[in-house]
């Protein structure tokens, strides 16, 4: 794809432009944009924002509301109903025709409104996870919403970031960017700060990072040269169509079922029509009306809309519990989740690090204090002979920790907070406790180059030059990796030869106490060195010692893990940390007393065919890389598990995509990880995953309830019509009356089920087997049984009324009221699929249930007593005594239904394991 403009202007103020920033030196671009390496002042940024407008792409015009409304008429059922209305009109049944049309309209309107609500709910969730960018303003690093970026802003980019605007790169470290969205090139492009030729095509402008592309590796700083629709992507307006489809596998299954059902119904209707005319000898218009009644009764018009809204309510409830759904199908899958694989740091633990020990060659030093406040001391163990030496060595180690570090501490309302990585923040606090001045040290040393931390190599290195000219490489990272790098260490800076075994024992001791252990090393290099390569670390590194941090488990994670255990969900911790640290934290979290630990190295040695078994029985995976995560997910899935997996780094994306529910971290996650996920945790908290699983189960239950409640209505009506035809008696309900029942009850009672709260035992059941369809044998039995019950009650009332000499219209009015009353009672029964409804919570209902019942009662009163309705629906006023009769019959049916529940649970326990819950 070629750029639409090779030399587009860049506005710094409305009337001053900068052409082709890729062809100019970075300093010139900075000058032209009236910016500097320290960034803009906040008030200048605000001024530019006012004049340039937000850094937002114009959204593609979605379907117009009218288009969305009309789409609701585009299905077989509606065609059929329209044809029926036409036929009724032709036969002179104008009222019937009008009612059918009215129902079609109301149905489309309800669908339209509910779909709109669902879309809005999803949209709101997308805004919750709006992207953030890291910028420098007045020399201070801060996080701001991407929308507030302006030309001249200095942005910091690192692996996993989505580039937030068009940026002229100023400083580049091993930066590679995936630009496929813009150039179609799938290999990540290497970047550098030197200018490119003016005529370079978009893909060859190696000093530019374009909005919407993804940082694959490395780090950079750059100056924003274009925002919003001024960016390259804004000009070609691609990328924007990623509105998530409002559908899920379940919804598709139901829609398919609905379509099939419609055609079957039409077939049956045709046969019945022939039967009525040829066998029963009815006049064809009369037969047609019967057939229309049957078809109208059979088809669950409102079902898809109610299910969509059930899903949308689930999404909203999950968002309230800090789980933002990015893709609707995740709502369903969450309910079936059987394994949760979670990162440790920040998800299971609080990610609030405090250094507790410093270990130098001469021995250990205890560190006091809590949190990031610089209050505490370094104390060698009492009586240590070499205390002075230890403290001097500790200072050297802490210097490395402060320089090989990007975090800063600052005080907000008296509380010390970290900007950047918490462990690095804890190193700054450690320096303050040791009496050093980290900011002064950072001013005295200038960073020349760096190798950023990456979960694959587990260390970070910087090349720094002291004001006096002295140059050093500082490295911090997983101590085992560092010891391997320091293999060739002679008696260097510390004057002590490296004793690997002794260090390994000290690491094991700290890790065994649950500490996160970090190693530090240094290497002097010749003055004048400017660049840092991996090869520079291969020899000459001198191991300085260790720092042990505590990062306490989250209390709520402990409770959530216990909840998972009760719910039959396995929890696995997958961490890059040391095996002993992982095991100790797992113990504290309740993942087992002596949980099995597999390290990344051990995983590599297990062949593919043996892996599923080993992975299934292991609770803790340590020293893993993102590639291991992918193997673990696949192995678990091959055992039939439904796997939820968390991730934050750019390299986690494949595992997140592979998992059934990939979960990105809202705070510490990269854009790449979030975009690969189906759900994003707003608080990075494990407990929120479990809350989402809980809500997922509730949503699935509610969908089952909606189906279990809706289908018998249709079934009962159809059976009543067929029975009447078979018995050669008048129809117990007219077509429009059937439509009335379906409409008034689906939009009220059916919808109330979408708002149902959780049943008490929802997290005490095993996960739903994924292969189990919605219509389980139990549900089919339920639908059949209740349909028969409804038919029996409807016909019972009908014949009773006719038998005592009522006119047909009166008998039909009673039947309609009977069916609606049964629906109300059945609603109370179905609210608890897994236990009896005869308890206070069941009887009192919820506000949604009560409102629905009140509406239905009001509608039925109008239907029965309002003259207009009497004219339209041909109804008659019901006497007080008959009203009681109907209520009494409803209660009897409730008792029958509850008895069936008890009976079926007993039978189910014996025969239907897994189906009958």
Residues catalogued as catalytic: 343
Q: Does 515 bind ligand ATP (CB under 6 A)?
A: no
Stretch that binds ligand ATP, among 471-479, 555-563, 733-741, 781-789 (CB under 6 A): 471-479
Contact string (CB under 6 A) for ligand ATP, positions 543-582, x = contact = --------------------------------xxxx----
Indicate whether 478 belongs to the interface with ligand ATP (CB under 6 A).
yes
- Residue 754, class by beta-carbon neighbours within 10 Å (0-12 exposed, 13-18 middle, 19+ buried)? buried
Q: Which stretch binds ligand ATP (CB under 6 A): 279-287, 462-470, 473-481, 813-821?
A: 473-481
Instruction: Return the number of the residue (335 or 600) whose C-beta is nearest ligand ATP.
Output: 600
Q: Which is nearer to ligand ATP, 115 or 480 (CB)?
A: 480
**Euclidean distance between the first and the last CA atom of the chain, given in angstroms as a whole number:** 56
Nearest residue (CB) to ligand ATP, 308 versus 575: 575
The residue assigned the tokens 């890790």 is 511
Minimum CB–partner distance for residue 480 and ligand ATP (Å): 9
Residue nearest to ligand ATP (CB): 576
Cβ–Cβ < 8 Å for 118, 112: no
Q: Under the phi-then-psi rule, with left for phi > 0, alpha for psi from -120 to 50, and beta for the rest, what region is 540?
A: left
Chain centroid to Cα 653, Å, comes to: 14
Binder among 80, 112, 453, 863 for ligand ATP (CB under 6 A):
453
Q: Which of 168, 173, 206, 516 lies at the binding interface for ligand ATP (CB under 6 A)?
A: 516
Q: For CA atoms 334, 339, 341, 346, give the dihedral sign.
A: positive
Sheet with 620-622: strands ordered across: 323-325, 679-681, 661-665, 643-647, 339-342, 570-574, 620-622, 597-599
| Binding span for ligand ATP by CB under 6 A among 107-115, 140-148, 295-303, 475-483 | 475-483
One residue of 356, 476, 812, 831 binding ligand ATP per CB under 6 A: 476
Binding region for ligand ATP (CB under 6 A) out of 172-180, 322-330, 451-459, 489-497: 451-459
CB of 910 to ligand ATP, least distance (A): 44
How far apart, in whole angstroms, are the C-alpha atoms of residue 830 and residue 705? 6
| 421 is a contact residue toward ligand ATP (CB under 6 A) | yes
Minimum CB separation from ligand ATP for residue 632, in Å? 12
User: Binding segment for ligand ATP among 4-12, 252-260, 420-428, 675-683 (CB under 6 A)?
Assistant: 420-428
Give yes or no for residue 219 binding ligand ATP (CB under 6 A): no
Question: Among residue numbers 269 through 288, which ones bind ligand ATP (CB under 6 A)?
Answer: none
Cβ of residue 319: shortest distance to ligand ATP, in angstroms?
24
Task: Kindly tell me which residue out of 195, 297, 363, 477 binds ligand ATP, with binding defined by CB under 6 A.
Answer: 477
Closest to 24 in 3D by CA, of 13, 10, 43, 5:
10
- Beta carbon nearer to ligand ATP, 577 or 756: 577
Q: Which of 428, 255, 254 is nearest to 355 (CA)?
A: 428
Residue placing its CB nearer to ligand ATP in the complex, 149 or 407? 407
Distance of closest approach, residue 346 Cβ to ligand ATP, in angstroms: 6
* Cβ neighbours of residue 79 closer than 8 Å, sequence gap 6 or more: none
Residue 130 C-beta: closest distance to ligand ATP, Å = 24
What's the sign of the alpha-carbon dihedral 804, 807, 812, 813? Answer: negative
Nearer to ligand ATP, 675 or 684 (CB): 684
**Minimal distance in Å, beta carbon 351 to ligand ATP?**
8
**Rounded Cα distance, 244 and 256, in Å:** 20
Least distance to ligand ATP, CB of residue 115, Å: 39
Nearest-approach distance from CB 454 to ligand ATP, in angstroms: 9
Binding status of residue 178 toward ligand ATP by CB under 6 A = no
Does residue 670 bind ligand ATP (CB under 6 A)? no
User: At CA 886, angle to CA 749 and CA 904, rounded to 5?
Assistant: 65
Nearer to ligand ATP, 206 or 476 (CB): 476
Nearer to ligand ATP, 628 or 694 (CB): 628
Query: Taking contact as CB under 6 A, which single stretch among the options 309-317, 329-337, 454-462, 604-612 is the one that binds ligand ATP?
Result: 454-462
Q: Using CB atoms within 10 A of its CB, is residue 695 exposed (0-12), middle (13-18) or buried (19+)?
A: buried
Cα 165 to Cα 160: distance, rounded to the nearest angstrom: 15
8 Å CB contact between 582 and 575: yes
CB of 601 to ligand ATP, least distance (A): 14
Q: Does 423 bind ligand ATP (CB under 6 A)?
A: yes
- Given 210, 459, 709, 740, the residue binding ligand ATP (CB under 6 A): 459
* Among 916, 905, 639, CA closest to 770: 639
CB of 666 to ligand ATP, least distance (A): 14
Residue 99: enclosing H or E segment and its boundaries? helix 94-128
Closest CB to ligand ATP among residues 150, 478: 478
Concatenated DSSP letters of 405-445 = ---EEEEETTEEEEES-HHHHHHHHHHHHTT--HHHHHHHE
Q: Name the one residue in this structure whose structure tokens are 């907000």.
A: 412
Rule CB under 6 A: which of 325-354 touch ligand ATP?
343-345
Residue 399 binding ligand ATP, by CB under 6 A? no
- The string of DSSP letters for 538-601 reads SSS-EEEEEEEEE-PBPHHHHHHHHHHHHTT-EEEEE-SS-HHHHHHHHHHHTS-SS--EEEHH
CA 7 to mean position of chain CA atoms: 41
Strand ranges for 334-414 from DSSP E: 339-342, 354-360, 363-367, 378-380, 408-412
Q: How many residues bind ligand ATP (CB under 6 A)?
A: 20
CA atoms of 666 and 684, how far apart (whole Å): 6
276 vs 583, beta carbon nearer ligand ATP? 583
Q: Which contiguous run of DSSP H or E holds residue 791?
A: helix 777-803
Could you give the dihedral angle defined by the CA atoms of residues 710, 712, 714 and 716, in that order, rounded to the nearest 10 degrees?
A: -150
Give the whole-angstrom CA distance, residue 132 versus residue 144: 5
Q: In this structure, are strands 166-178 and 208-209 parallel, antiparallel, or unpaired?
A: antiparallel
Q: Is 518 in the site for ligand ATP (CB under 6 A)?
A: yes
Q: Which is nearer to ligand ATP, 93 or 578 (CB)?
A: 578
Residue selected from 72, 458, 631, 694 as contacting ligand ATP according to rule CB under 6 A: 458
Site residues (CB under 6 A) for ligand ATP? Answer: 343-345, 421, 423-424, 453, 455, 458-460, 476-478, 516, 518, 575-578
């Amino acid at each position: 794809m070629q750029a639409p403009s090779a030399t587009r202007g860049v506005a710094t103020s409305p009337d001053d432009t900068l052409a082709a920033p890729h062809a100019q030196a970075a300093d010139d671009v900075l000058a032209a944009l009236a910016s500097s390496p320290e960034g803009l002042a906040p008030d200048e940024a605000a001024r530019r924002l006012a004049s340039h407008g937000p850094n937002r792409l114009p959204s593609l015009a979605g379907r117009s509301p009218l288009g969305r409304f009309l789409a609701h008429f585009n299905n077989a059922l509606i065609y059929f109903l329209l044809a029926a209305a036409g036929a009724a009109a032709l036969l002179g049944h104008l009222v019937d025709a009008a009612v059918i049309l009215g129902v079609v309209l109301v149905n489309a309107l309800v669908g339209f409104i509910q779909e709109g609500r669902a879309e809005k709910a999803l949209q709101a969730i997308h805004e919750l996870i709006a992207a953030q960018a890291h910028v420098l303003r007045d020399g201070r690093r801060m996080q701001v919403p991407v929308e507030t970026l302006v030309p001249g802003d200095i942005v910091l980019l690192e692996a996993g970031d989505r580039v937030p605007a068009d940026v002229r790169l100023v400083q580049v470290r091993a930066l590679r960017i995936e630009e496929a969205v813009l150039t179609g090139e799938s290999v990540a492009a290497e970047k550098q700060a030197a200018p490119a030729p003016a005529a370079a095509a978009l893909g060859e402008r190696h000093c530019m990072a374009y909005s919407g592309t993804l940082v694959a590796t490395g780090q950079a700083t750059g100056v924003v040269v274009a925002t919003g629709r001024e960016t390259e992507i804004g000009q070609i307006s691609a990328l924007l169509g990623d509105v998530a489809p409002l559908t899920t596998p379940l919804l598709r299954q139901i829609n398919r079922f609905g379509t099939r059902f419609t055609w079957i119904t039409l077939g049956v209707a045709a046969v019945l029509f022939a039967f009525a005319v040829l066998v029963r000898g009815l006049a064809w218009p009369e037969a047609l009306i019967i057939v229309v009644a049957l078809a109208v009764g059979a088809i669950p018009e409102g079902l898809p809309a109610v299910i969509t809204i059930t899903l949308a309510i689930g999404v909203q409830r999950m968002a309230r519990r800090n789980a933002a759904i990015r893709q609707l199908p995740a709502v369903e899958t969450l309910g079936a989740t059987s394994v949760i694989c979670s990162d440790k740091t920040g998800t299971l633990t609080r990610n609030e690090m405090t250094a507790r020990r410093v270990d130098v060659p001469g021995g250990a030093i205890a560190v006091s204090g809590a949190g990031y406040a610089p209050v505490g001391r370094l104390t060698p163990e009492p009586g240590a002979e070499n205390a002075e030496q230890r403290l001097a060595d500790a200072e050297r180690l802490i210097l490395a920790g402060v320089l090989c570090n990007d975090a800063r501490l600052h005080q907000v309302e008296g509380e010390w907070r970290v900007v950047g990585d918490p462990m690095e923040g804890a190193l700054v606090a450690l320096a303050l406790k040791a009496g050093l001045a980290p900011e002064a040290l950072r001013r005295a040393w200038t960073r020349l180059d760096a190798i950023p931390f990456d979960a694959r190599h587990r260390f970070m290195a910087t090349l720094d030059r002291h004001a006096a000219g002295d140059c050093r490489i500082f490295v911090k990272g997983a101590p085992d990796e560092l010891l391997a790098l320091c293999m060739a260490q002679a008696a260097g800076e510390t004057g002590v030869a490296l004793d690997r075994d002794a260090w390994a024992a000290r690491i094991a001791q700290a890790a065994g106490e649950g500490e996160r252990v970090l190693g530090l090393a240094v290497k002097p290099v010749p003055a004048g060195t400017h660049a840092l390569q991996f090869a520079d670390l291969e020899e000459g590194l001198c191991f300085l010692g260790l720092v042990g941090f505590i990062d306490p488990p989250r209390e709520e994670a402990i409770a959530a893990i216990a909840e998972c255990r009760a719910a039959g969900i396995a929890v696995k911790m997958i961490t890059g940390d040391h095996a002993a640290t992982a095991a100790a934290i797992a113990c504290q979290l309740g993942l087992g007393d002596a949980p099995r630990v597999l390290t990344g190295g051990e995983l590599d040695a297990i062949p593919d065919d043996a892996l599923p078994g080993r992975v299934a029985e292991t609770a803790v995976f340590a020293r893993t890389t993102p590639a291991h995560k992918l193997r673990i997910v696949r192995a678990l899935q091959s055992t039939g598990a439904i796997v939820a997996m968390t991730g934050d780094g750019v390299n986690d994306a494949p595992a997140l995509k592979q998992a059934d529910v990939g979960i990105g971290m809202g705070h510490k996650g990269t854009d790449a990880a979030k975009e690969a996920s189906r759900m994003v945790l707003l608080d990075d908290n494990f407990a929120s995953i479990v809350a989402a699983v809980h809500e997922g189960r509730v949503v699935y239950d509610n969908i089952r309830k909606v189906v279990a409640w809706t289908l018998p209505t249709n079934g009962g009506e159809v059976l009543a019509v067929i029975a009447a035809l078979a018995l050669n008696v008048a129809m117990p309900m007219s077509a429009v009356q059937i439509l009335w029942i379906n409409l008034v009850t689906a939009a009220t009672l059916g919808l109330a089920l979408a708002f149902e709260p959780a049943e008490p035992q929802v997290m005490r059941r095993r996960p739903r087997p994924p292969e189990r369809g919605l219509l389980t044998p139990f549900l089919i039995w339920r639908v059949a049984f209740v349909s028969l019950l409804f038919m029996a009650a409807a016909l019972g009332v009908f014949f009773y009324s006719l038998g005592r000499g009522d006119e047909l219209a009166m008998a039909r009015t009673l039947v309609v009221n009977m069916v609606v009353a049964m629906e109300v009672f059945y609603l109370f029964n179905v609210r608890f699929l897994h236990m009896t409804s005869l308890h206070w919570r069941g009887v009192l209902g919820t506000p949604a249930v009560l409102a629905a019942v009140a509406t239905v009662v009001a509608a039925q009163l109008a239907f029965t007593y309002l003259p207009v309705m009497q004219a339209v629906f041909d109804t008659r006023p019901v006497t007080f005594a008959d009203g009681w009769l109907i209520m009494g019959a409803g209660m009897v049916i409730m008792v029958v239904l509850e008895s069936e529940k008890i009976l079926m649970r007993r039978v189910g326990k014996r025969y239907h394991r897994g189906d009958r819950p």
